[in-house]
Amino acid sequence: MSDIPFDSTRRHVLGLGCERGTQAAEVLALAIEALDAVGIGAAELAAIASIANRRQEAAILAVARHFAVPAVFFDALRLEEETQRLKNPSEIVFARVGCHGVAESAALAALGADAELVLGKIKSAHATAAIACIGLQKD
């Protein structure tokens, strides 16, 4: 789990993956589509998460700025540890970056072992998004 600040409201992480140089507008539109798909508002988002080799990717950083949340990044080895929890593992992604998924894995890694995917990977032309949540159990 990362050190992102989350609480009873901000308990969702949006995992993002994209090709290098993808336009920020495309990634932001996909992010909004992902949030809308599961009825999550921006105020419920704790962070954006991705793979470490996208740490400087302008589109991912623009989405984090848009939602005013931190961006956290994980190396491929850490993301690969999440493979058993993925809804959409990909051999193609593994061959390219060394883990079986970026968006789903990053969202789960950001929140730790108690996180669950609430939205499996969705795609645009050049990007992927997924959402994980912590604290799904009812009190």
Q: What is the pTM of this model?
A: 0.91
pLDDT tens digits for range 77-89:
999 999 999 999 9
Bridge partners, residue 130, by sequence = 15
Within 8 A by CB and 6+ apart from 92, the residues are none
| Alpha helices by DSSP H, 86-137 | 91-97, 103-111
CA distance 58 to 44: 23
pLDDT tens digits for range 51-103:
999 999 999 999 999 999 999 999 999 999 999 999 999 898 888 988 989 99
